Structure 1
Amino acid sequence: MSDAIAYFRRTPILWLIVFVPIAIAGEHIWPDAHTLLFLLSVAAIVPLAALLSQATEAVAARTGDTVGALLNATLGNLTELVIALMALAAGQYLLVKASIAGAIVTNTLFMLGGSFLLGGLKFHLQEFNRVNARFLASLLFMATIAVLVPSLIGAADGQPQTAFTQQLSAGLSVLLIITYGLWMLFSLKTHRELFVSATSEHGGDEPHWPLATGIIVLLVVTVLVALVSEVFVGSVQVAAEELGMTPAFVGFVVVALVGAAAEMATAFSAARKDRLDLSVGIALGSAVQIALFVAPLLVLLSYVLGPQPMDLQFWPGAIVMMLVATMAATLLSNGGRSAWYMGVLALTVYVIFAMTLFLLPPQV
């Protein structure tokens, strides 16, 4: 634990941790100060993301980049899952679907592109395990197809929800969860040798925390991120109106970026240390986990928690963006090597989407 305290003292960004209790308490002290709560929650998530990044790297250093990336994606997506469960219980299915689509696009384009750019600015060329990247991109494409089918059926029926689309969504959800479970078995057990890191040197000489310290920090910070995210979600809609942001931009971009802050911190830091396998695993692995596990799990839980069952029917704009993001990730990760300009390409596509949503919200 002394290592964690020393890291805290020499990392000025962690001094923002004082905003965590302020943001949590502010929800009860200033319940109507939505813009203030929004800014406080964003300031609180930044140091929590830095802590989660360091703790995950400590665990990944002793478990390997594949397990480390899975661990970071799981804990990072736990925040999105908690947020979505809150919206699910309130019947805000549009917010749930927007957060799902936004998280997939943000992780696939912004996080992956940012990792390529930041790593490429320090290293001329970087290598990563293209087998792992290909599998993750293929899984993401398959999941997007599973979302596309009920969306096309719903559009053809001219109905926002029908018994058929609900039954189809439930069946597809079970199928996606089974597929994700088999992927875990394949990548971590039966064919784990295919997913070893492409580089043996991890870059950087910074000592890692002990494994026990890393795990404790991971668990504590994950709980704090979930609490701060609750404040963020409760204030973001009104704050967005006051700050001149559209609902589509908030749900698809702002919520996704803040929710993935912890994962981004780890992915970007790993890329700067020439551990691009960890960066690619976090970016694509997180998107895959949302598409194959979080989204179908929410559909099944809606039968218990929601006022009515939720389906996998998304609006056309979201489907197009998810498909384009998946294709871009496939093309950029196909060669197993990256340079900074590849990051520019991915980020450009993401900015195009963000600009479009800022000026023209999708019709839902």
Structure 2
Amino acid sequence: MSSPTPAASAPNPAEDANNPWLTVDRVSLGLLVISFPLAVASHFFFPGTWTFILCAVALIPLARLMGEATEVIAHKLGSGLGGLMNASFGNAAELIVALAALRSGQVEVVKASVTGAILGNLLLVLGASILAGGLKYARQKFNTTAALSGAAMMFLALTAMSIPDLFHAFRRHEADPVIFPMSVAISVILLIVYALSLLFALKTHSHLYEGEEQGTEEELPPWTPRGASVILLGATLGVVVVAEFLVHAIEAAIATFGFTHTFIGVIIIAIVGNAAEHSTAIMMSLKNKMDLAFNIAFESSKQIALFVAPVLVLVSIPMGQHMTLEFSHMEVLGIGLSVGAVTLIALDGESNWLEGVMLLGVYAILGVTFFFIP
């Protein structure tokens, strides 16, 4: 009597459904293979608007590669060193683009990109995550203490960005000589607080952030730590090249599309730089891991405000550009509204799809406003 055919040898529709051929990683890799060479060729042979577009597209998969490689290395290092590495490289792509713009004297674009990264994470990334998760689950819960802790840190960032603007508004021309020294001092304070926040999250109160793992061993890319390090180095170099070309093409894009420097920084560059966090946060919300979705949005925003912005101010000293923490009234107001909106949603520890729509609505209103700012 012949033995029955093993079930494992037959195609499993459920398994095929759970492992589709068209995955985010494959789409991202295809996008990189196509856009990166075209961006380089465009820069050298037909520089201008197309270079800006192709560089912006290439930044998306490069930032994702940097994020995935960092996750693999962090997973191998453990929660302590791994968390520190995540904190250090979480917004590396945005920092590289900002440094390239700062070196080219595009200080207005740099400040706008800082504002846009914060608005994008708090409103666009978190809003889309809450909406996506809310359409699948009627009600999703998250750690209120951790979320409100992130909101409190963002209030500190709002204070740091508001004070120079208000000081200049009240003192007028008398404030001009002291705005930069004031910004340097505030930047040092922010970096100290940021270091202490890492101590809080990774050491003294790490239990608040241990509710969920972002990715199991099986969910992470099958890379060795050495392979991930090589990929991280290669992706970082790619971002450096693309960022440099992108910055040189900004003026051409502005002339073609009629955008302002502020809109380019607040919306375009911020969306491109946040693409990796955006996709990850949405995937976490679809898995009903709202703690992680909130953590991604708050941690990325906190890192931009308390680490990237102060570093840019300090680095501007040897560059001779003297960037300050004095942002425009509209930028400060936008960040204040975004911090207030996410704090309201974080108060009850639950989210639904309508709250996601509300955050996206606030982002859309601010986007329209920044579009019309001359």
* TM-score interval for Structure 1 and Structure 2 normalised by the shorter chain: 0.7 to 0.9
Moved more, 348-357 or 36-45: 36-45
Distance 2:76 2:137 in 1: 24
Structure 2 residue runs of 5 or longer lacking an equivalent are 1-20
One-letter code aligned to 1:263: E
Distance 1:69 1:118 in 2: 27
One-letter code aligned to 2:373: P
One-letter code aligned to 1:36: W
- Residue in structure 2 matched with residue 27 of structure 1 by the alignment: 43
Question: What's the % identity of the aligned pairs?
Answer: 38
CA positional deviation for 1:13: 4.3
Larger Rg: 2
- Secondary structure, in 3 states, of the residue corresponding to 2:326? coil
Structure 1 residue runs of 5 or longer lacking an equivalent are 1-5
1:11 and 2:23 correspond: no
Moved more, 343-352 or 123-132: 123-132
CA 9–171 in structure 1, closer or farther in 2 if over 3 Å, else same: closer
**Residues 284 and 290 in structure 2, CA contact (< 8 A), matched pair in contact too:** yes
- Residue in structure 2 matched with residue 249 of structure 1 by the alignment: 263
- Secondary structure, in 3 states, of the residue corresponding to 1:312? coil
CA 22–338 in structure 1, closer or farther in 2 if over 3 Å, else same: same
- Residue in structure 2 matched with residue 270 of structure 1 by the alignment: 284
CA positional deviation for 1:287: 0.9
CA positional deviation for 1:290: 1.1
- Secondary structure, in 3 states, of the residue corresponding to 1:158? helix
CA positional deviation for 1:190: 1.4
Moved more, 184-193 or 202-211: 202-211
**Residues 112 and 263 in structure 2, CA contact (< 8 A), matched pair in contact too:** no
**Residues 214 and 284 in structure 2, CA contact (< 8 A), matched pair in contact too:** no
Distance 2:329 2:25 in 1: 48
1:338 and 2:354 correspond: no
Moved more, 43-52 or 87-96: 43-52
- Residue in structure 2 matched with residue 195 of structure 1 by the alignment: 209
**Residues 140 and 288 in structure 1, CA contact (< 8 A), matched pair in contact too:** yes
Distance 1:166 1:216 in 2: 39
- Residue in structure 1 matched with residue 18 of structure 2 by the alignment: none
Distance 2:231 2:254 in 1: 32
One-letter code aligned to 2:255: E
- Residue in structure 2 matched with residue 354 of structure 1 by the alignment: 367
One-letter code aligned to 1:29: F
- Residue in structure 1 matched with residue 312 of structure 2 by the alignment: 298
Distance 1:9 1:186 in 2: 33
Q: How does 1:283-294 map to 2 (within 5 A)?
A: 283-294=297-308
CA 280–220 in structure 1, closer or farther in 2 if over 3 Å, else same: farther
Q: Paired residues, what number?
A: 352
Distance 1:318 1:328 in 2: 15
**Residues 73 and 82 in structure 2, CA contact (< 8 A), matched pair in contact too:** yes
**Residues 113 and 344 in structure 1, CA contact (< 8 A), matched pair in contact too:** yes
CA 221–194 in structure 1, closer or farther in 2 if over 3 Å, else same: same
Q: In angstroms, what is the RMSD of aligned CA positions?
A: 3.0
**Residues 70 and 281 in structure 1, CA contact (< 8 A), matched pair in contact too:** no
Aligned pair partner of 1:153 in 151, 155, 167 = 167
- Residue in structure 2 matched with residue 318 of structure 1 by the alignment: 331
CA positional deviation for 1:125: 2.4
- What CA deviation, in whole Å up to 9, does each residue of 1:127-177 have, x standing for no partner? 222222111110111111111111111112223962222222111111111
**Residues 72 and 263 in structure 1, CA contact (< 8 A), matched pair in contact too:** no
- Residue in structure 2 matched with residue 110 of structure 1 by the alignment: 124
- What CA deviation, in whole Å up to 9, does each residue of 1:318-347 have, x standing for no partner? 110011111111111222222222111100
Moved more, 238-247 or 158-167: 158-167
- Secondary structure, in 3 states, of the residue corresponding to 2:237? helix
Distance 2:192 2:82 in 1: 22
CA positional deviation for 1:62: 6.1
Distance 1:43 1:251 in 2: 15
CA positional deviation for 1:106: 1.2
1:75 and 2:56 correspond: no
- Secondary structure, in 3 states, of the residue corresponding to 1:335? coil
CA 128–217 in structure 1, closer or farther in 2 if over 3 Å, else same: farther
One-letter code aligned to 2:291: D
- Residue in structure 2 matched with residue 125 of structure 1 by the alignment: 139
CA 327–10 in structure 1, closer or farther in 2 if over 3 Å, else same: closer
Distance 2:80 2:143 in 1: 10
- Secondary structure, in 3 states, of the residue corresponding to 2:91? helix
- What CA deviation, in whole Å up to 9, does each residue of 1:28-87 have, x standing for no partner? 2223xx111122123323433454455455557667899878755643421222222223
1:92 and 2:106 correspond: yes
Distance 1:234 1:319 in 2: 27
Q: TM-score, normalised by structure 1?
A: 0.85
CA 220–161 in structure 1, closer or farther in 2 if over 3 Å, else same: farther
- Residue in structure 2 matched with residue 179 of structure 1 by the alignment: 193
- Secondary structure, in 3 states, of the residue corresponding to 2:333? helix
Distance 2:206 2:158 in 1: 25
